[in-house]
Amino acid sequence: MRIHSNISKYLVYQVLGSAFISVPVIVLFWQENGLNFTEIMILQSLFALIVVLFEVPTGAFADIISRKLSLVIGAFGSALGIFIYSIGHNFEGFLLAEIIFAISVTFISGADSAFLYDTLLQEKKENLFKKIYGNVFAWSFIASAVAVVLGGIIGKYSLRLTLTLQVPIFLTAGLVALTFIEPEHKKRLYKKGYLHHIYKSAKFALVKNKEVRWLIIYLGTILAAGRVGLWFYQPYMKLSGLDIFYFGIAFALYNIIAAVSSKFAYKIESLTGRKIALILPALFLSLGLYLFGSIIWILGFMFGFLLQFVRGFSSPIIEDYINRIVFSEKRATVMSIASLLDKLFFAVFAPFIGYFADKFSLQQAFLLSGIVVLVSCTSLLLLMRKDKVFEEARD
């Protein structure tokens, strides 16, 4: 079937979208253009806010209009946002770029996994979702690892060039998306329209179905907590005495660990069962954050391997559990709600933890993060147990 080509094209699309060359030097680029730390954090807060506002509406767009079109808009919009970044020289220019980029990201989020799942569903191979989605994640993390190393090398000569080279990468992803074949899925058009579709999907995900509710809240909590490392890894490496030359290599190793855990997530889950597969992310996150907060060691960046395992393992497994329950006409919207919760939790949590790090110390901020993760995840796991979420996934 022609639709089978979606799988390989989807892999290419996600790999290109994950190849962020500018990641290891973006903060230096902002500072080179006169931004202070407050302005940098305003940009990140704005990004999270925009994602929260647009995540579900764009997920509904994918459900009602077209998942292919949503992915096309996301890729080309990302290219436009990065292009504006590449020619910007001040806070105002970067603000516009961040707005466009954030909206574009929401068109991809939710629609991507729903697009893949419905492609497999049409081929009657939906039971392979965990395996294929994990493989896609693995290659995406490998692409990210290569991009990080290249970004460090290129950034040594020109910080702006890392952003300029990002544009054709995203443009190519958009061209790949244009060749997608729209998979069949139910497009239930509610009489009350688009907003009613969002309302019905949110009510199903957060009120009616307890299993979906706890799974998406748990996934959002895990992903949000894992993002703490994104801002704290570099200060920790500097504090530990690791030479900046090795920062890019450390980040590349992080992506490799995430890639391996993603690729073999379905095998690990088949060995551990659903209950342990849900407990592992909370355990590894809490332990990793605790180690960062307790030990300052030149090779302490390796504590991040625990967080990277969670980064690669969680989404393929938990999103599979969610996709098995949610009907096709709501799938992208519900997955967008899960992504929205991730961003919302991070937007609330990050400024508080950042202030705590400034007020006290980086180590204490790590320890506090670990405590918050342990308490919140343990509470959610107990609620899951009460509502029988630990029962083996149904085909």
Along the 395 residues of the chain, how does pLDDT read in single tens digits?
Answer: 577 788 888 899 989 988 888 887 787 788 789 877 667 767 877 888 888 888 778 877 887 888 889 999 999 999 999 999 999 999 999 999 999 999 999 898 878 878 888 888 887 777 778 788 888 878 887 888 889 888 878 887 888 998 999 999 999 999 998 988 887 765 554 445 666 767 777 888 888 888 889 999 999 999 988 877 777 787 788 789 887 677 778 888 988 898 889 889 989 999 999 999 999 999 999 999 999 999 999 999 999 999 999 988 998 899 888 888 887 777 767 877 877 788 888 887 777 777 787 778 889 989 998 999 999 999 999 999 988 888 764 44
Give per-residue pLDDT as tens, 330-371. 776 787 787 778 888 888 777 777 778 777 888 998 999 899
> pTM of the full predicted structure?
0.74
**How far, in Å, CA of 319 to CA of 324, rounded?**
9
Give per-residue pLDDT as tens, 121-170. 887 777 778 788 888 878 887 888 889 888 878 887 888 998 999 999 99
Residue 39 lies in a domain: yes
Residue 393 lies in a domain: no
Q: What is the pLDDT of residue 226?
A: 85
**How far, in Å, CA of 217 to CA of 220, rounded?**
5
Residue 185 lies in a domain: no
Closest CA to 370 of 299, 307, 302: 307
Residue 395 lies in a domain: no
- CATH number, domain of 206, equals 1.20.1250.20
Residue 157 lies in a domain: yes
Residue 357 lies in a domain: yes
**How far, in Å, CA of 361 to CA of 206, rounded?**
37
Phi and psi at 19, nearest 5°, equal -85, 75
Domain of 216 in residue numbering reads as 2-180+192-386
Residue 154 lies in a domain: yes
- Per the structure, the count of domains in the chain is 1
- Under a CB-based contact definition with an 8 Å cutoff, are residues 289 and 369 in contact? yes
Residue 187 lies in a domain: no
**How far, in Å, CA of 86 to CA of 273, rounded?**
46
